[in-house]
Amino acid sequence: MGNFPGELKYSKEHEWVKVEGKTATVGISDYAQDSLGDVVYVELPAVGKEFKAMQEFGVVESVKSVSTLYAPVGGKVVARNEALNDHPEKVNTAPYGEGWIMKLEMSSPADLDALLTAADYQKLIQK
């Protein structure tokens, strides 16, 4: 069913968040990348752009489909994974590592309370 690191938080839209201080690293889950198939393009948000929680911030295109990406927490983009421009397949091969998509400086850490634990996320996708 996939790999779901316990230290991460997950959205119902299949994004994950790793929190370090006020910085939230965001990517898509192992389940999401597996469902998409081979990722061929990732639309990255602009550094400095601000998003509210659950606001659209980009898309992931695969050989099968196009999926919208949603910011699991609100904040300002402080980094984006430029390596995905040339190597979008990193989303498939290392969704929780080199396949991260953006880093946000969180505007409201309380947004994390609306996210799922790894166990809750696994229950959601097993329905």
Domain range summary for the chain, segments of one domain joined by +:
10-125
Confidence of residue 3 (pLDDT cuts 50, 70, 90): confident
37-84 pLDDT per residue, tens: 999 999 999 999 999 999 999 999 999 999 999 999 999 999 999 999
DSSP codes of every residue in the chain: -----TTSEE-TTSEEEEEETTEEEEEE-HHHHHHH-SEEEE-PPPTT-EE-TT-EEEEEEESS-EEEEE-SS-EEEEEE-THHHH-TTHHHH-TTTTT--EEEEES-GGGGGGSBPHHHHHHHHT-
For residue 1, pLDDT over 90 is answered with: no
Q: Does domain 10-125 have CATH number 3.90.550.10?
A: no
